[in-house]
């Protein structure tokens, strides 16, 4: 499942988080929200929810 969450932070700004996306699929979502809301001031990619990435990391660690 691909989830998108929007959190309204203590400054009234929006924080968008996408999980379960493969590759760069989530970038389009972030760009769309940022374009409508204003601008991205911080962006972080997190591979932990993407199984192929985690598997690749584990395999690399085993080597």
Partner 1 sequence: MSAFSKDQTIYKDRECLVAALGDMGYTDVEVHDVAQQLYDYHGHATHYIDAKGDKANIIVRRKNVGMSANDLGFKLEADGTYSAIISAFDRNKHNDAWKIGLKGKYSERVGLKTAKRLGLKPYKTQVNAKGQRQILWVKA
| Residues of the shown chain interacting with partner 1 in the complex, contacts defined by CB under 8 A | 1-27, 29-30, 32-34, 36-50, 53
| Total Cβ atoms within 10 A of residue 43 | 9
Q: Based on CB atoms, which residue is closest to partner 1, 2 or 61?
A: 2
CB 2 within 8 A of CB 19: yes
Q: Based on CB atoms, which residue is closest to partner 1, 42 or 62?
A: 42
Least CB distance to partner 1 at residue 61 (A)? 18
Least CB distance to partner 1 at residue 56 (A)? 12
Instruction: For the chain, give the number of residues.
Output: 63
Least CB distance to partner 1 at residue 51 (A)? 10
CB 18 within 8 A of CB 31: no
């Amino acid at each position: 499942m691909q989830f998108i969450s929007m959190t309204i932070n203590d400054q009234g700004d929006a924080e968008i988080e996408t999980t379960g996306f493969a590759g760069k699929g989530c970038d389009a979502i972030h760009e769309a929200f940022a374009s409508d809301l204003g601008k991205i001031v911080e962006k972080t990619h997190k591979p932990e929810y993407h199984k192929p990435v985690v598997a690749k990391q584990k395999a690399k660690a085993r080597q």
